[in-house]
A and B are shown apart, each in its own frame.
Chain A
Amino acid sequence: MRTLFILVVASFVMFLAPGATAAQVVDVSDLDQNPQAYDGQVVTLEGELIGDYGIRGDEVWVQLNDDPYIENPIPGGGAPAGGNQGIGLRIPVEIFDPEGWGPPGSVRYRGPLVQVVGEFRYHAADASGETFVQVVDITLLDPARPLPSGELGTPGRIGIALLVLAALIFAAARYRARPPRG
């Protein structure tokens, strides 16, 4: 009952909070194209957490990508569709949940898909000029999932055969170049 009460109050506060209610749903490209217009605004972004969780004291830095690869990265069978598009997030450690989310995206994982609400900071004076989103709320949409690690396959087998061949040729070269006996 107590937990339910906290959730109801928290939802009510979120609903009333001016930042959260005024949050504009944007893409990373919107922020990149027109950063000064969004500076200091509360925005909502959806995407994949990627790279590393950089745990620095009471905050965590991580990159959020919202490019074509968030559903189907190339190692998972996706087709090339241009470059990545991402922005840094600064997340309070209190709402950081690595166990629930899973590892950030890499060649081994499609990272967790999340929706974040936060203040966009463009070259923030109180953060050494960094550009990022100061997250106030984060919702897990889909936890990380592993990507196939693959196998040596045909290229590996051909490579091993070529290496054996190269070793034989090199041994023959050494044998031929040895000094004559006597």
Chain B
Amino acid sequence: MLLRPSVTDLRLIAHDLGRILAVVAAAGLLPLGWAIFRGEWSAAGWFLLMIGTAAVPAAAAEFLGWGARRQRVDWSHGLVVVALTWLVVPAVGTLPLWLSGHWGRWLDTFFDAMSGITTTGLSLVQDLDHLPESVNIWRHTLQFLGGQGIVLAALTFFSASGALSMYQAEGREERIFPSVISTARFIWLVSVIHGVVGVTALTVDGILVQGFEPVRSFFHAINVFMAAFDTGGFTPQSTSIAYYHSALYEGVLAVLMVAGAMSFGLHHALWNRRRGLLRNLEVRTILTTFGILLAVTIVGLGISGVFTHAPALTRRGLFQVLSAHTGTGFSTVSTTELSRWSGLAFVGITVAMALGGMSSSTAGGVKSLRIGLTVKAMADSIREALLPEGAVVPDTFQQYGVQRLTPRMAQSVMAVSLLYVGLYLLGAGVGYAYGYPLDQALFESVSASAAVGLSVGVTAPGMPILMELVMILQMWVGRLEFVAVFALLGFMASLAVGE
């Protein structure tokens, strides 16, 4: 029997959503400030409207005080807040995009806002090269908020009960410190330090190496930093990272992409100079898959004859595999050229996207820890079958110390991995039904579900509305790793038919 949520439950959820909107309003100050600084007055008006739209319900939630006396906070409440947050924030975030006139229909702006907040990077923007700089900064700020975890941002500023469920519902499994609030603050500290170093390096490179004007160099740097560290993939120019024509710039971005795809637990371990990290199952898994897929892609490119020079092949292949495996979605080749990568190169990039980065990072996809645990569980089963009856197969693995792989954990990991496969196939089926070649439909579906953002041209203005809706769903469900979405569906069902 389903229990109908009480009015208090609904008030608690509304109160938490209000606080999330306060974070959105605060984040809108960055593009607003840039619009004023650069004299983009129309855009300044759009951001004022967005900030005001977010601020009124945020203030109302405080006034009503619905969250002041929490009588009970259960696990599902946090999950529902997170699932709703990732719908409400893109809805509010579309305002400046829609008013700019650079998107064909409102759904396209919601697609881009969802793509931003989920750090996917697919885009339906038109005439990006004439887009106001402040709107570009907002697109990238959405990626930063989404990568960091917007609920995490709210937790950092507003200590809340139910914090643990909300933290984990955003796709983070490990707590670095006993307190979620302390963990959230550590994540922000890591991000700010990477931000200062990354933006400085990119700005200096832009001025000294690429010959950009200082303000424009800073503009590029802050945007691509947010997209790289949060494995987002938006760029301020239409030709993605190929715009910069610079191996050095790509090198800096590669470091930031890797840092973004690393779990914050690994960041913490590296900061504390802990030894033996290479024994960690997740580190070993991601190094292994990256090495294999890089080799597969480079061999594939070599066979295909797309490249005639080994250094060019290696540079492009390495960057694209890194971009795919970290879930970033930056590209140094055009969409048309990427669509010509066939055979092994296609397999290498697609599988890299599907696998994703590390758990508790800003990357999407199945994630390396699940891959490692799935392989271990299967290997253990085979060993048990081959060894004499009664022989003991160790069920432990290294992950910041010795952990035990319980049957329940193995089932959970495999279930989520299978759900991802189902999500990939869902989008591929819809794309194929609309007449796209199966390989292209699969590529785009994996890219959306695993929050990557590489495209072979299927995602384009004017794409079928149903397909656009399915891709929005894939981005939302894939980023939240299913659980929060299932909780929201259960909550809605209990609202409708509960007693």
Contact = CB atoms under 8 A, between A and B. Distances in A.
Given A74-B130, A80-B126, A158-B52, A170 B59 contact: yes
Interface in B129-164: 129-133
A106 B130 contact: yes
A86 interface: yes
Interface residues of B, number: 69
Nearest to B42: A150
Interface of B: 25, 39-53, 55-56, 58-60, 62-63, 65, 68, 99-104, 125-133, 209-213, 216, 220, 237-239, 242-243, 245, 247, 307-309, 311-313, 315-316, 333-334, 336-337, 460-462
6 contacts: A81-B126, A123-B307, A123-B316, A125-B311, A128-B247, A156-B48
B40 A152 contact: no
Contact of A150 (B40, B238, B247, B337): B40
A171 B220 CA distance: 38
A134 B414 CA distance: 52
Contact of B242 (A35, A131, A158): A131
A123 B132 CA distance: 31
B126 A173 contact: no
A149 interface: yes
Contacts of A151: 41-42, 45
Interface stretch (A12-20, A52-60, A112-120): A52-60
Contacts of B461: 80, 82-83
Contacts of A63: 129, 237, 239, 243
A162 B45 CA distance: 12
A48 to B, nearest CB: 9
Interface residues of A, number: 67
B444 to A, nearest CB: 15
Given A63-B243, A149-B42, A69 B52 contact: no
A131 to B, nearest CB: 7
B128 to A, nearest CB: 6
A84 B127 contact: yes
Interface in A77-130: 78, 80-88, 105-107, 110, 123-125, 128-130
B48 A163 contact: yes
Contacts of A54: 210-212, 245
Given A129-B309, A159-B45, A86 B129 contact: yes
A70 to B, nearest CB: 10
Interface in A33-85: 33, 35, 50-56, 60-61, 63, 65, 67, 69, 73-76, 78, 80-85
A153 interface: yes
A51 B58 CA distance: 38
Contacts of B129: 50-51, 63, 65, 69, 84, 86, 105-106
Interface in A145-174: 147, 149-163, 165-167, 169-170, 172-173
A177 interface: yes
B65 A173 contact: yes
